[in-house]
Chain A
Amino acid sequence: MSVPLLTINRVRKAFGGLVAINDVSFEVTKGELLGLIGPNGSGKTTMLNLISGALSPTSGNILLSGQNIAGRPAHKIARIGVARTFQLVRVLPSMSALENVVAGAVFGHNRLWGAEALALARDLLERVGLKGREEVPVAAMTYIDQKRIELARALAGNPHVLLLDEWLAGLNPSELRVGIELIREISEQGRTIIMVEHVMDAIRSLCTRCVVMNSGTKIADGRSADVLADPEVVRAYLGDDDA
C-alpha cells in the first residue's frame, strides 16, 4: 500500500449535543477516486466541510501529506491544496464564466496571475465542455453548465484533493452520462477525488473504493461492489425489513 495522501484520523464533530461525525477515520491514496456515501443526514457533507475547512472538527486530525489541516481556516486549506464544489451550486453570479474559473487559478493552490491564469482558465473551460462560452455571464447559464463552471473553478487551483459534493445531483439522464465521463477523465489524469454522491450508478461505475457513513459513523469501507452488497449498508439505506 502506498502512503496515504489524506488521512482522516478519529475526526469528531459535535453541534452541541448532536454528534454529526463520530470518531470517523479513513485514508485516501494519491490518485484515488473515493466514493463517500450514506443515507441523508449521515454526515457526508459535514465530513467534506471538515476537510475543506468550512467547519472545524471538535476533535481528531486531518492530515494532508502529513500536514495537519484540521481546524485551519478554509482559505488556508484551499491554498495548501483542497478544492471543492458545493451541494447547492455556487457560482459568482456577476462575473463571466472565465472570471469564475480565474478566481480559482489566482487564489487556490496554484496561485497564478495574469496571462497564465487566463490561459489555464480557458483550457479548463474547454475541458469541462464550455469552449466558446468564456464571456457568458454565469447567471444566465443552465444548471449543468453552472456545475461545470464550479468544477473548472475547483480544478483551476490545481488541488491535491478535489471534493465533489453531490456534483451529479439534479442532472437529467443524458447530462448524467456526460457528467460521469467528465469525472472519470479528471480522475484518469491522476487527480485525487472524494465524491459524495447519491447516484449509485455513478458510484458503481466510477469509484473503486467506497466509505459508507450512517448517523455520523463509518459503517463500511472497501471495494465498491463489496461495500454495496454489505447487509449493514443495505440496512442503512433501506431499513431492517429489506436486509
Chain B
Amino acid sequence: MMNIPRNELLALGAGLAGAAVLAFLPLVTEGFWLSLSVNIMLYAAICTAWALFSGPTYLVSLASAAFFGVGTYSVAIFIDVLPFPALILIAVVAGALLATLVGLATLRLSGVYFVIFTLGLAELLGQIVTWVQTNFGGTIGLYVFTDFTETHLYWMLLALTVVVFVTGWLINRSRLGLALRIIGNDEAVARHVGVDTARTRVILFAVSGAFIAVAGAIMAPRYGYITPDAAFNPMTSFLVVIMALLGGTRRLWGPLVGVVPFTVVMDFISGHFPNQTAVIMGLAFLAIVYVLPDGVTGQLETLFRRRRSIDKSLPATTAEEGR
C-alpha cells in the first residue's frame, strides 16, 4: 500500500505517455475528427469522474447534467467580467458545493431513491435558471464569446481527463479509496470498523461533481449561446451512465473503454438516423445491463481469472485422476 507497485507505476507511465501523444492530435487532424475527439475527451473526463463516486458506492447518479449545467453557467454568467481560469475555479467551487448539498440531503437515500433525486435535480436547476432568466434577465439564453478553437477545447479536456485519472489513482491508494470499497461492500460493516460513511460519500461526490462542472465550463465556449435546456440536458446524465457501464466501473480506466466506441457509434447513428437515436440508445442501455453487467472490462477480467484458475487447477486434476 505504501510502496507503489511496479505494474501501477508502469500503468501511470503508460497513461501519461499516452496523454502526451494524444496532445499532438490537433496538429495532424482537424474538422470532423478533431470535433469527434473533443466529444470523446469530454465524455472520457465526465464518465471517469462519474465512476469515481458511482463505481465503488454502486449509487447511480443522474446528476451529471446538473453539475455540467452549473459549470456551463459559471462561464456564461461571468465570461465578460473574469478571465477564463477564474471561471474554471468558479465551476470547481460551484460543482463541489452543489454536490456537497445534494450529498448531505441524500445521505439516507439509497438505491432507486437516490437515482430519482439526482434525476430531478438537473430538471429542477434547469427550471430555476429558466425562471430567473425570464423574470429578471429578459432573455432565456446567454452568449459566450471567446477566442477558443476546437484545439483549445481539446487540450483543456485532455488536461482535465489526466487530472481526473491522477486524482482517481491517488484516491484509490488512500484511506478514502479503501473506505469507499468497504462502503460499497457493506455499509454496516463500514460503520462498525470505524468508517465515517457520510463524510466519505459526500467528499467523493463533491470531487466527482466538481470535475463534471469543469467539463461543463470548458464546453461553454463551444455552444456559444447557453440555454438551460442545453446546459441541463438530462441526456448528458444518461449517456454518462451508459458509457461508464459499458466500459465497466471496477477499474479506473474502465469507463474509457466504453466512451471511445460508444461516442464514435453514437456520432454515426445520430448523423444517419437522427429520429431513431433515442430508441437505439435505449436498446443499447438494455443490452449493456443484460449482457455486460460488469462492463467490458469486468467481463474480460472474469474471463481472464477463469482461464487462470483453470491453468492452476490442471496439475491438481491430473494428480486426482492418477490415483
Binding site for B on A (CB under 8 A): 52-54, 73-75, 78-79, 83-84, 86, 90-95, 99, 102-104, 106-109, 111, 113-115, 117-118, 153, 157
**B185 in contact with A92 (CB, 8 Å):** yes
Which B residues from 1 to 50 make CB contacts under 8 A with A?
1-2
Q: Nearest 4 pairs between A and B by C-beta?
A: A78-B194, A114-B2, A107-B194, A92-B185
Give 19 new A-B contacts, CB below 8 A, not counting A75-B190, A95-B185: A54-B191, A54-B192, A74-B192, A75-B191, A75-B195, A78-B191, A84-B192, A86-B188, A90-B189, A91-B189, A92-B185, A93-B185, A102-B1, A103-B193, A104-B193, A107-B193, A113-B1, A115-B2, A153-B193
With a cutoff of 8 Å between Cβ atoms, the chain A residues found around residue B185 in the complex are: 92-95
Q: Is B186 an interface residue (CB 8 A)?
A: yes
Task: Identify which of A75, A90, A113 contacts B194 (C-beta below 8 A).
Answer: A75
Binds A, one of B90-98, B149-157, B174-182, B283-291: B174-182
Can you name 14 A-B pairs with beta carbons within 8 Å? Answer: A53-B192, A75-B190, A75-B191, A75-B195, A78-B191, A79-B194, A91-B189, A94-B181, A94-B184, A103-B182, A104-B193, A107-B182, A113-B1, A113-B2
Give the distance in Å from the alpha carbon of A95 to the alpha carbon of B1 in the complex.
Answer: 15
Question: Interface residues of B: mostly helix, strand, loop or mixed?
Answer: helix
- Give the total of B residues in contact with A, Cβ under 8 Å: 20
Give the distance in Å from the alpha carbon of A104 to the alpha carbon of B189 in the complex.
Answer: 9
Please name the residue on chain A nearest to B174 by beta carbon.
A113
Task: Identify which of A75, A95, A109, A113 contacts B197 (C-beta below 8 A).
Answer: A75
**A107 in contact with B1 (CB, 8 Å):** no
Q: Is B80 an interface residue (CB 8 A)?
A: no
**A113 in contact with B175 (CB, 8 Å):** yes
Give the distance in Å from the alpha carbon of A52 to the alpha carbon of B2 in the complex.
Answer: 31
**A157 in contact with B194 (CB, 8 Å):** yes
Least distance between A150 CB and chain B CB atoms (Å): 9
Give the distance in Å from the alpha carbon of A107 to the alpha carbon of B182 in the complex.
Answer: 10
Least distance between B305 CB and chain A CB atoms (Å): 10
Give the distance in Å from the alpha carbon of A38 to the alpha carbon of B197 in the complex.
Answer: 33
Please name the residue on chain B nearest to A52 by beta carbon.
B192
Least distance between A149 CB and chain B CB atoms (Å): 11
A-B CB pair tally, cutoff 8 Å: 79
Task: Identify which of A78, A83, A92, A117 contacts B1 (C-beta below 8 A).
Answer: A117
**A106 in contact with B196 (CB, 8 Å):** no
Least distance between B232 CB and chain A CB atoms (Å): 35
**A108 in contact with B1 (CB, 8 Å):** no
Give the distance in Å from the alpha carbon of A136 to the alpha carbon of B49 in the complex.
Answer: 30
* Given A107-B179, A114-B1, A117-B1, A92 and B192 contact (CB-CB distance below 8 Å): no
* Given A90-B186, A95-B185, A107 and B2 contact (CB-CB distance below 8 Å): no
* Given A115-B1, A115-B2, A92 and B194 contact (CB-CB distance below 8 Å): no
Task: Identify which of A52, A75, A95, A114 contacts B196 (C-beta below 8 A).
Answer: A75
Which B residues from 97 to 150 make CB contacts under 8 A with A?
none
Please name the residue on chain A nearest to B250 by beta carbon.
A94
**A102 in contact with B194 (CB, 8 Å):** no
Please name the residue on chain B nearest to A163 by beta carbon.
B192
Give the distance in Å from the alpha carbon of A102 to the alpha carbon of B191 in the complex.
Answer: 15
With a cutoff of 8 Å between Cβ atoms, the chain A residues found around residue B193 in the complex are: 78, 83, 103-104, 107-108, 153, 157
Give the distance in Å from the alpha carbon of A84 to the alpha carbon of B192 in the complex.
Answer: 7
Least distance between A52 CB and chain B CB atoms (Å): 6
With a cutoff of 8 Å between Cβ atoms, the chain A residues found around residue B190 in the complex are: 75, 107
**B189 in contact with A92 (CB, 8 Å):** yes
Give the distance in Å from the alpha carbon of A83 to the alpha carbon of B192 in the complex.
Answer: 7
* Given A54-B188, A92-B182, A109 and B2 contact (CB-CB distance below 8 Å): no
With a cutoff of 8 Å between Cβ atoms, the chain A residues found around residue B182 in the complex are: 92, 95, 103, 107
Give the distance in Å from the alpha carbon of A93 to the alpha carbon of B188 in the complex.
Answer: 13
Give the distance in Å from the alpha carbon of A157 to the alpha carbon of B195 in the complex.
Answer: 12
With a cutoff of 8 Å between Cβ atoms, the chain A residues found around residue B2 in the complex are: 113-115
Give the distance in Å from the alpha carbon of A112 to the alpha carbon of B186 in the complex.
Answer: 21
With a cutoff of 8 Å between Cβ atoms, the chain A residues found around residue B179 in the complex are: 107
Most chain B CB within 10 A, of A84, A102, A103, A106, is at: A103
**B181 in contact with A95 (CB, 8 Å):** yes
With a cutoff of 8 Å between Cβ atoms, the chain B residues found around residue A102 in the complex are: 1, 178
Which B residues from 186 to 239 make CB contacts under 8 A with A?
186, 188-197
Task: Identify which of B178, B188, B194, B197 contacts A108 (C-beta below 8 A).
Answer: B194
With a cutoff of 8 Å between Cβ atoms, the chain A residues found around residue B191 in the complex are: 53-54, 73-75, 78
Give the distance in Å from the alpha carbon of A94 to the alpha carbon of B184 in the complex.
Answer: 9
Please name the residue on chain A nearest to B199 by beta carbon.
A75
**B192 in contact with A106 (CB, 8 Å):** no
Give the distance in Å from the alpha carbon of A107 to the alpha carbon of B181 in the complex.
Answer: 13
With a cutoff of 8 Å between Cβ atoms, the chain B residues found around residue A73 in the complex are: 191, 196
Least distance between B250 CB and chain A CB atoms (Å): 9
Give the distance in Å from the alpha carbon of A76 to the alpha carbon of B190 in the complex.
Answer: 12
Least distance between A140 CB and chain B CB atoms (Å): 10
Give the distance in Å from the alpha carbon of A92 to the alpha carbon of B189 in the complex.
Answer: 8
Give the distance in Å from the alpha carbon of A180 to the alpha carbon of B109 in the complex.
Answer: 41
Least distance between B131 CB and chain A CB atoms (Å): 39
Least distance between B109 CB and chain A CB atoms (Å): 18
